[in-house]
Amino acid sequence: MAMSLESGAGCGGHHSRAMSLESALEAIRGSVSAVIGNDEISPMEALGRVLAEDIRAPNDVPGHTNSAMDGYAFRHEDCAPTGKAALRIAGDSFAGHPFSGALQAGECVRIMTGAVVPDAADTVVMQEDVVQREGMIELSHMPRKGANIRLAGEDIQAGQAVLSAGRVLRPADLGMIASMGIASLKVRRRVKVAFFSTGDELRPVGEPLLTGQIHDSNRYTLHGMLCQAGMDTCDMGIVKDDPDALRDAFKTASESADVVITSGGVSVGEADYVTDMLAEMGNVSFWQIAMKPGRPLVYGRLGSAVFFGLPGNPVSVMATFMQVVRPALGVISGARYEEPLRFDARTEHAIRKKPGRMEFQRGILRRDGKGGFSVKTTGHQGSGILKSMSEANCFIVLPQDSGTVEAGTWVTVEPFPCV
């Protein structure tokens, strides 16, 4: 993974101006590359994995023309347009047990859903539309020619390019791969992400708190978001605000992982050592992004690992992860870039904002009863109010230059990913 670490043009030292989210993303995308190495796995294990090769259909799906209904297969021309002619039942075709004979004029075959349609037949009539008597059927409704038949290859044609390298595999893809009979496929190896929290005030869950201490929640949200992103996670626990402890953790993390993510200690406080430590042991690319929440953010390189030092505030961790880290992990995992889904909704109330930073307020998106969507915020938008993320189902994305937005105006929303 080659990465150029410029320190000019607003992405340099500690006190340079904040850069826009857009240029931060561009810089990151241009400086990371996909992991090398594939795994050969079964489609059963492939959910969320990144396809490493194009998949072409080795055969037609379905492989044979079959019935879409329980009913009777027959030749359309054997019946009068009224369907009054009676047809003799020559045999049956069940799923997995095709009719072995040859269909003659004036005959039909009892057929079940998914069963092979005999060569000579071209139409299936639903069993609800026939009267059956003494080995014969009479149609009460004449279907159009070709009705209730699924043609061989109508889902996928042999040779067709079905999925291409870079695809993040979804449940439908797994089934589709299996439907083509493919038992193993090449996916990129998973990206290993080591992460830890920094802060002397942090205690693990299960331990009582002394005055001034808090439970470490960032590792839990990070773990959740990393799992959602299909990462191979390595939880390194809590590290003290202590240069020696940080040095050790940085070393271990960078030796074992492709990506290292920390939270806390990236501001300009007395005990904020993360940026300095990265400068000592690696490279700091930039450290301030004009977004709210989450202005201080360290990006760089630690040995061969890509490094993200996220802010400490719980909402900032989530917002910077989702907006900055997540797209980078996509590139590193070899996934084709996909724009986040964003659309407009009417805000139910005024949203206060000062121009200068792009804001990601936490929103609740809902149907407005008039065929569209409306959105409201989750209330208090402080970067320590993690409940605002829990209650929200979307970000309300307010552009850098925008000021306060009046009730009833259109705002951009970005739904959260599903679990």
**Contact residues: ligand AMP, CB under 6 A:** 197, 199, 201-202, 214, 216-218, 263-267, 269, 311-314
Site for Mg ion in 81-100 (CB under 5 A): none
Calculate ∠ Cα 138-139-144, nearest 5°.
145
Q: Which residue is nearest to ligand AMP (CB)?
A: 312
Structure tokens at 117: 């349609």
Smaller CB separation from ligand AMP, 21 or 385: 385
CB of 392 to Mg ion, least distance (A): 25
CB of 262 to Mg ion, least distance (A): 10
Smaller CB separation from Mg ion, 265 or 314: 265
Of the candidates 143, 199, 327, 363, which one interacts with Mg ion according to CB under 5 A?
A: 199
Smaller CB separation from ligand AMP, 124 or 298: 298
Q: What is the DSSP string of 258-322?
A: SEEEEES--SSSTT--HHHHHHHHSEEEEEEBSEES--EEEEEEETTEEEEEE-SSHHHHHHHII
Smaller CB separation from ligand AMP, 202 or 246: 202
Smaller CB separation from Mg ion, 312 or 334: 312
**From start to end of 145-281, where are the E strands?**
149-150, 161-163, 185-188, 192-198, 202-203, 214-215, 232-239, 259-263
CB of 316 to Mg ion, least distance (A): 12
23 binds, among Mg ion, ligand AMP, none (CB under 5 to 8 A by kind): none
**Pair 71, 130: CB distance under 8 Å:** yes
CB of 199 to Mg ion, least distance (A): 4
Smaller CB separation from Mg ion, 275 or 377: 275
Q: Does residue 264 bind Mg ion (CB under 5 A)?
A: yes
243 binds, among ligand AMP, Mg ion, none (CB under 5 to 8 A by kind): none
Q: How many angstroms separate the CA atoms of 154 and 19, rounded?
A: 51
Q: How many angstroms separate the CA atoms of 285 and 267, rounded?
A: 15
Smaller CB separation from ligand AMP, 199 or 330: 199
Structure tokens at 396: 């309300």
Q: How many angstroms separate the CA atoms of 89 and 133, rounded?
A: 10
CB of 276 to Mg ion, least distance (A): 14
Q: How many angstroms separate the CA atoms of 233 and 329, rounded?
A: 12
What sign results for the dihedral spanned by CA atoms 321, 323, 329, 330?
positive
Q: Which stretch binds Mg ion (CB under 5 A): 256-264, 281-289, 296-304, 320-328?
A: 256-264
Q: How many angstroms separate the CA atoms of 196 and 249, rounded?
A: 8
Q: What is the distance in angstroms between the CA of the first residue and the CA of the last residue of the chain?
A: 30
Site for Mg ion in 164-193 (CB under 5 A): none
CB of 385 to ligand AMP, least distance (A): 12
CB of 214 to Mg ion, least distance (A): 10
CB of 34 to ligand AMP, least distance (A): 30
Smaller CB separation from Mg ion, 143 or 265: 265
Measured N-to-C along each axis, helices 274-281 and 243-256 cross at an angle, to the nearest 10 degrees, of 60
Q: How many angstroms separate the CA atoms of 194 and 226, rounded?
A: 10
Site residues, Mg ion (CB under 5 A): 199, 264-265, 312
